[in-house]
Amino acid sequence: MNAPELPKSFERREAELPNPLPRPEGEFDALKKAWEPPRWISFVTAVNNTYVGLWYVGTAFLFFILAGILSLIMRTQLAVPENDLVSHNLYNQLFTMHGTVMMFLFAVPAVEAASVYLLPNMQAARDLPFPRLSAYAFWAYFVGGLVFFGTIFFGLSPDGGWFMYPPLTSTKYSPAENADWWLLGIGFIEISAIAGAIEIIVGVMKTRAVGMSLDKLPVYSWAMLVFAVMIVIGFPAIILGTLLLEMERAFDWPFFIAERGGDPLLWQHLFWFFGHPEVYIIFLPATGMVSMIVPTMAQTPLVGYRLVVLALIATGFLSFGLWVHHMFATGLPKMSLSFFSAASTAVAVPSGIQVFAWIATIASGRMKLTTPSLFVIGFLFIFTLGGLTGVMVAMAPFDWQAHDSYFIVAHLHYVLIGGMVFPLFAAIYYWVPVASKRTLSERVGRWVFGLMFLGVNVTFLPMHITGLIGMPRRVYTYPVGMGWDALNLVSTIGAFMIAAGVALFLLDFARNFRFAGENNAGNVWNASTLEWLPNGNYNTRSIPIVVSRDPLWDQPNLSKDVEDGRYYLPGTATGGREALVTSPFDARPQYILQVPGPGWQPVLAAVFTAAFFLLLTVKFIFTSIICGVLAVGFVIWWLWETDPGPVRPPADIGGGIVVPVYATGPVNHSWWAMIVLMVVCGMIFTCLIFSYLFLWLVNPGAWPPQAVRIPDWIWPALSGFLYCASAALIAVASRHLRGEDRRKPRSVPILIGVALLLVSGASAVDLWAQWQTALSPSAHAYGAAVYAIVSLQIFFVLTTLIMGPYTIARWLAGKLDSVRRTTFDNTMLFWFYTVGQGLVGLLVVHGFPRLTGGI
Amino acid sequence: MTGRRTAQVLLALGGMFAWAVQFALIYGATSTLCGRGWADATLLAIGVVPFAILSTTLVTLVAAAILLIVSFREERRWRDQPSSTADAFLSQTGVLINGLSLIAILWNGVPAFILPACA
């Protein structure tokens, strides 16, 4: 579908704005009514980004405080030598939970949460394209996160460190359920993060103000786009890692057990392929925030916009070449280490570009020393120090000296607190006036900054020395006379200074934050971007045309004209919630997206998803399965109400631009989401293939082990044929479903049904081929790796067994035809992916051992 | 996304993809060759590990250089006749990214000249 042409120049005279005044009576009331949140108990079913975003940020902050309290207990324990405030067992749980909660329950959700709130406002979109997905992500995280944290009160928390290295976390050394809480408890958080990432990618690319082409995209949106892509690439590695470790613990499949061909280093590769980019995953959104705050405080446009975008993209790539620098002490060849050393130093270049761009912006304007400015300056100071020690530990010989010592603790806290916590506080002080009727106190804010800035340096600066003179990390106490006493006491005092700063912030927040559905505090900083337009539950009254990166500075009447409804879509065309979908490069209007409203389905689906994972942890298998089935059921119910079809003819949104209220194919927002989801699936599969090859590498002459027989070629050939045949039938069904008239070809459900039989058969043949050779998944890592590939494929085939009948059901219910076919398209995309993955899996499992001939 | 737009994105990010390919191949080759005990094997009178690193670096370097040249041309083209500001922006960003990639690829290939293969 071609996007409607916009006028050659968006710079029109006032009289030429898309919609004239006065606006029709009732237009604004209808818009407000459509976006009204539910009341009373149903309030929890709200899906508006303004509500879900704030709940999300609030919950993330709650976990920040809870994990912070854990750190205070640890610092109190370490304040003096030979202290017995907590036992070593509890201390193990404390540091594991502190790291895990800070990284998984605070850092990633906090930046994702902030974007759920900010992105639609900043891009003048009515909401994110999948508001129910945001709500689902939030509730899964909220329920699951709180239960996960609650394990600390029962001595059940994981205790193997936040990176959970086997063999310490394998059944042999950690037979209790503590490790399972981490492995399964983190599962729903990963799902939540990926759901958020899909939402963000599609939101940034498809729902922007008209004319907000890529060159006018706020830097924050760029940062969130790179952030989300990094989650899509990085998180699958940890998803697969946790799956493999849990399969080892539950079924004795020896992926990480060296005696049976496994290798604990495989876990480290999978964990850090996620874990290092994770640092940048939380750092990039923070830099995006800083890039928005600095120009406002300096009252001048950001210097080096293109270079900053370059830096964000380059960081996104280079950060995936660093993971082994966490493994410098594992005995890998020096040549291999040097590649990661090189990339670790190279990544400092884009970070440096951003720092210099901010300094240049500050220098070219007149910086107001507000609380957000102070936190930004604090960030620059602390993060730069952390970056410098980062370059030090990027050198393998230095890292061997500092490894697992308090020097590393100091480095990572300088990077993470400087790179993420300070920008987040700057962001809260900066953007509270968008969400609240009152601003936070500048006077109290300075005290908060002072306490936190001094506290961080008092806590962590001495730790560099504590580490260099030999104190290892993760010890619950230490003897007198090691020279560590005074340094530890100083660090503990510093930790309580940070806590005092945070407590003061909470007081200020409680005193001044007053949620504003409408009538917020206004553009108190004279900022230039669209989140400072007058807004309500519907976000902006009309969707503006943007002509520069600083629209509020360059288009003086913009706020009033937007509020008066003079720009696009000032009401509701379909009578319900809508968003204007725009083209990804030039942001030209493409179609009106009918946005789903509040509903219990995402809330209940999320609760049962969390329950599924958590109950599985405590081995309540039957109840867990029931919860899993209920979660899927609620997702199906939720989806049933989507894909509404063209409920009315194309609508005039103003300025003579007429757009449809429904679209399919590559222009459709859910097509984009499916593509992103398939990239996630592809990455999980790629990581599994990497694991297979890695295990081959560590098993010379035993791939397969001598007693193992590889199935005959006939089996994979048959399986592959069945996969291809099923895909061909789906392609034929798609062709039958094509056309402009609302036909509903009878062949479609039959073709899907037969394709279901074929794809199931393909998977069954693949499994049977291995089974009949008596290959055991427990005897050797070879069998475990083969069955892991087969099992993942079965999972995908089972998913098609849900999607296929669902698509048929929609056809039977009259909700699928040649025009209203988004559901079919999504099923088709997933089907093709499943078949592709199945074929590659067959090739690897059956072809690779023959190719290498047991080398 | 149209074919033209996809090509623009691939051109703009191509250098970084070349870096990623180089990184994966040189790390994979080093791990495999060292892991299988082929540290002392030679090819064209140089060690098989440095050979793999240098040849991969050379190929990806050439690829990144070509992308940089094409990006420059695109940048000049859109500077003179911008059909949209996004075109000009993408082509300029492409020049920057491909330029940086060239340096990153070179930087990652340097260890082959300095370090022993599998020590």
CATH code, A848: 1.20.120.80
Query: Per CB distance under 8 Å, which residues of A are interface residues toward B?
Result: 213-216, 306-307, 309-310, 313-314, 317-318, 320-321, 332-336, 338-339, 342-343, 345-346, 349-350, 584-586, 666, 697-698, 700, 855
| Residues of chain A neighbouring B37 (CB-CB closer than 8 A) | 700
CA-to-CA separations, A28 to A34, A310, A376, A596, in angstroms, rounded: 10, 41, 39, 19
Amino acid identity for residue A637 in this structure: W
Contacts of A429 (CB under 8 A, 6+ apart): A370, A371, A372, A375, A440, A445
3-state secondary structure of A402: helix
pLDDT band with cut points at 50, 70 and 90 for residue A722: very high
Mean pLDDT, rounded, for A697-704: 89
* CA separation for the pair A1, A102 (Å, rounded): 45
pLDDT tier, A15 (very low <50, low <70, confident <90, very high otherwise): low
Classify residue A232: in a domain, yes or no: yes
Residue A398 lies in a domain: yes
Cβ-based contacts of B1 with chain A (< 8 Å):
584-585, 666
SS3 helix, strand, coil % of chain A, rounded to 5? 65, 5, 30
pLDDT at A259: 94
Amino acid at A489: L
Q: Domain boundary at A487, A512, A537, which?
A: A512
**What pLDDT, on the 0 to 100 scale, is given for residue B80?**
72
In a domain, A17, yes or no: no
Residue contact A586–B84, C-beta within 8 A: yes
List the structure tokens of A619.
Answer: 């081995």
Q: Does the distance separating the beta carbons of A584 and B104 come in below 8 Å?
A: no
Question: What confidence category does residue A1 fall into, taking pLDDT thresholds of 50, 70 and 90?
Answer: very low
Neighbours of A247 (CB within 10 A): 19
Between A and B, how many residue pairs show a Cβ–Cβ distance under 8 A?
106
Q: Which of A477, A512, A547 is the last residue of a domain?
A: A512
* Among A214, A314, A333, beta carbon nearest to B30: A333
Asked if B115 lies within 8 A of A321 by C-beta distance, the reply is: no
**pLDDT score for A855:** 63
d(CA B112, CA B52): 9
In a domain, A799, yes or no: yes
Q: How far apart (Å, rounded) are the C-alpha atoms in residues A157 and A178?
A: 5
Asked if omega into A22 is within 30° of 0 (cis), the reply is yes
CA A117/CA A432 separation, integer angstroms: 11
**Angle of helix A178-206 versus helix A88-100 axis, rounded to 10:** 10
A669: chain B residues, CB-CB within 8 Å = none
CA A388 vs. chain centroid, Å, equals: 28
Rounded to whole angstroms, how far apart are CA atoms A120 and A115? Answer: 8
- Please name the residue ranges forming H helices in A573-668: 600-617, 621-640
Nearest to B115 among A314, A320, A335 (CB): A335
**Residue-wise burial string across A210-225, b where 16 or more C-beta atoms lie within 10 A, e elsewhere:** bbbbbbbbbbbbbbbb
User: CB distance A310–B96 less than 8 Å?
Assistant: yes
- Residue A269: give its domain's CATH number: 1.20.210.10
Contacts of A107 (CB under 8 A, 6+ apart): A282, A416, A420
Buried b (16+ CB within 10 A) or exposed e, A7-33: eeeeeeeeeebbbeeebeeebbeebee
Dmax of chain A from CA atoms? 86
Q: Which residues of B touch A5 (CB under 8 A)?
A: none
Interchain pair B93, A306: CB under 8 A:
yes
Q: pLDDT for A741-777, tens place per residue? A: 677 788 999 999 999 999 999 999 999 999 999 999 9
Beta bridge partners of A405: A472
Q: Closest approach of chain A CAs to the CA of B4, in angstroms?
A: 11
| Structure confidence at residue B75 as a pLDDT band (50, 70, 90) | confident
Tell whether A43 is covered by a domain: no
Among A225, A309, A319, A339, most B C-beta atoms within 10 A, so best to mutate, is A339
**Local confidence band at B1 (pLDDT 50, 70, 90 cut-offs):** low
Residue A819's pLDDT band (cuts 50, 70, 90)? confident
Mutate to test the interface with A, among B75, B84, B98, B105 (most CBs of A within 10 A): B84
Ranking A7-11, A55-59, A241-245, A525-529 by mean pLDDT, the lowest is: A7-11
pLDDT on residue A14 = 47
Please tell me if residue B52 touches chain A, with a CB cutoff of 8 Å.
no
Is the CB of residue B42 less than 8 Å away from at least one CB of chain A?
no
Do A215 and B97 count as a contact with CB atoms less than 8 A apart? no
Would the CB atoms of A342 and B108 count as touching at under 8 Å?
Answer: yes
Cα angle A74-A75-A78, degrees, rounded to a multiple of 5: 90
The CA distance from A202 to A128, in Å, is 8
Instruction: Please give the average per-residue pLDDT across A664-692, as a whole number.
Output: 94
Judge: B86–A215 Cβ closer than 8 Å, yes or no.
yes
**A249 HSE (CA, 13 A, CB side):** 28
The answer to whether A310 contacts B26, with C-beta atoms less than 8 Å apart, is: no
Mutate to test the interface with B, among A395, A583, A585, A851 (most CBs of B within 10 A): A585
Q: What are the C-alpha distances in Å from A334 to residues A395, A710, B19, B48, B110?
A: 11, 36, 20, 16, 13
Which pLDDT band holds residue A613 (cuts at 50, 70, 90)? confident
Q: Do B86 and A213 touch (CB under 8 A)?
A: yes
Give the mean pLDDT of A710-733: 95
| pLDDT value, residue A116 | 92
Residue of B nearest to A308 (CA): B93
Provide mean pLDDT across the span A703-723.
93
Nearest to A752 by CA among A798, A708, A800: A800
Question: Average pLDDT in the A568-580 region?
Answer: 91
Q: Would A48 be classed as within a structural domain?
A: no
Helical ranges in A484-599 per DSSP H: 485-512, 551-554, 558-564
Which residues on chain B are in Cβ contact (under 8 Å) with A666? 1
Kind of pairing between the strands at A657-659 and A651-654: antiparallel
Q: DSSP per residue over chain B, as a string?
A: --HHHHHHHHHHHHHHHHHHHHHHHHHHHHHHHHHTT-TT-EETTEEHHHHHHHHHHHHHHHHHHHHHHHHHHHHHHHHHS-SSHHHHHHHHHHHHHHHHHHHHHHHHHTHHHHS-S--
The reply to whether residue A215 touches residue B13, judged by beta carbons under 8 angstroms, is no
- The HSE-up count of residue A523 (CA atoms within 13 Å, CB side) is 16
Mutation to test the A interface, candidates B19, B40, B113, most A Cβ within 10 Å:
B19
Residues 6 or more apart whose CB falls under 8 angstroms from that of A29 comprise: none
Domain assignment present for residue A14? The answer is: no
Closest CA to A258 of A692, A697, A706, A698: A698
> A298: Cβ–Cβ under 8 A, 6 or more apart, which residues?
A361, A362, A364, A365, A366, A367, A368
| Residue among B32, B92, B107 whose CB faces A306 most closely | B92
- Short-list A154, A122, A306, CA closest to A221: A122
Taking an 8 Å cut-off on Cβ atoms, the answer to whether B100 and A342 are in contact is no
Do B86 and A585 make contact, defined as CB atoms within 8 angstroms? yes
Which of A309, A342, A346 is facing B93, going by the closest CB pair? A309
Q: Residue A543 pLDDT > 60, yes or no?
A: yes
Q: Work out the average pLDDT over A31-57.
A: 90
pLDDT digits (tens, 9 = 90+) for B31-69: 999 888 887 888 878 888 889 999 999 999 999 999 999
Smallest Cβ–Cβ distance between B49 and the set A335, A342, A585 belongs to: A335
Alpha-carbon distance values, A262 to A270, A699, A700 (Å): 14, 8, 12
Residues A70, A94: contact at Cβ < 8 Å? yes
Contacts B57 to A, Cβ<8 Å: none
The DSSP-derived string for A426-494 is: HHHHHHHHHHBSSPPPHHHHHHHHHHHHHHHHHHHHHHHHHHHTTPBTT-S---TTSS-HHHHHHHHHH
Chain A positions touching B47 (Cβ under 8 A) are: none
Tokens representing A763 are 């998977």
Q: Could you tell me the residue ranges of all domains in chain B?
A: 3-111
Contacts of B36 in chain A (CB under 8 A): 697, 700, 855
Q: Which of B34, B97, B103 sits opposite A310 (nearest CB)?
A: B97
pLDDT higher than threshold 70 for residue A192: yes
CB A810 within 8 A of CB A823: yes
Tokens of A611: 């329950």
In this complex, is the C-beta atom of B4 within 8 Å of any C-beta atom belonging to chain A?
Answer: no
The tokens for A477 are: 């106490």
Q: Is A139 exposed, middle or buried (0-12, 13-18, 19+ CB in 10 A)?
A: buried
* pLDDT of A7 above 70: no
- Tell me whether residues A342 and B111 touch, CB distance under 8 A: yes
Query: In this predicted complex, what is the ipTM?
Result: 0.93
Specify if A582 maps to a domain: no
- The pLDDT tens digits for A648-657 are 888 899 888 8
How far apart are the C-alpha atoms of A168 and A174, rounded to whole Å?
A: 6
CA distances from A113 to A134, A197, A505 (A): 9, 11, 19
Distance CA A45, CA B96 (A): 46
Chain A residues within an 8 Å CB radius of B108: 321, 339, 342-343, 346
Quick check: B85 contacting A, CB < 8 Å?
yes
* Segments forming the whole domain that contains residue A433: 59-512
pLDDT at residue A636 is higher than 80: yes
- What is the CB-side half-sphere exposure of residue A783 using CA atoms within 13 A? 21
- Is the Cβ of B108 closer than 8 Å to some Cβ of chain A? yes
Show residues of chain A in contact with B89, CB under 8 Å. 213-215, 306
Q: Give CA–CA dist A273/A267, Å, rounded.
A: 10
Mean pLDDT computed over every residue of chain A = 92
Which pLDDT does position A139 carry in this prediction? Answer: 92
Higher pLDDT, residue A649 or A295: A295
Low-confidence winner among A581-590, A799-808, A823-832, B80-89 (lowest mean pLDDT): B80-89
Two structure tokens written together for A810: 């929609």
What is the least distance, in Å, from the CA of B17 to any CA of chain A? 8
- Chain B contacts of A343, Cβ < 8 Å? 23, 104, 108
Do residues A530 and A552 lie in contact, with contact meaning Cβ atoms separated by under 8 Å? yes
CB A458 within 8 A of CB A491: yes
Q: How far is A217 from chain B (nearest CA, A)?
A: 10
What pLDDT sits at residue A11? 45
Q: List the single residue in B with minimal CA-CA distance to A693.
A: B32
Asked if B27 has any chain A CB less than 8 Å from its own CB, the reply is yes
B55 touches chain A (CB under 8 A): no
pLDDT above 90 coverage of chain A, percent: 74
* Average pLDDT over every residue of A635-646: 90
User: What are the chain B neighbours of A215 within 8 Å (beta carbons)?
Assistant: 85-86, 88-89
Q: Given a cut of 80, is residue B94 above it in pLDDT? A: yes
Q: Which long-range contacts (CB under 8 A, 24 or more apart) does A474-480 make?
A: A474/A92, A474/A95, A474/A161, A474/A404, A476/A77, A476/A86, A476/A87, A476/A88, A476/A91, A476/A92, A477/A77, A477/A78, A477/A81, A477/A82, A477/A83, A477/A84, A477/A88, A478/A78, A478/A81, A478/A82, A479/A81, A479/A82, A480/A81, A480/A82
Total structural domains within chain A: 2
Split at pLDDT 50, 70, 90, the class of A238 is: very high
A524 CB contacts (<8 Å, ≥6 apart)? A433, A439
Collapsing DSSP to helix, strand or coil, A620 comes out as: coil
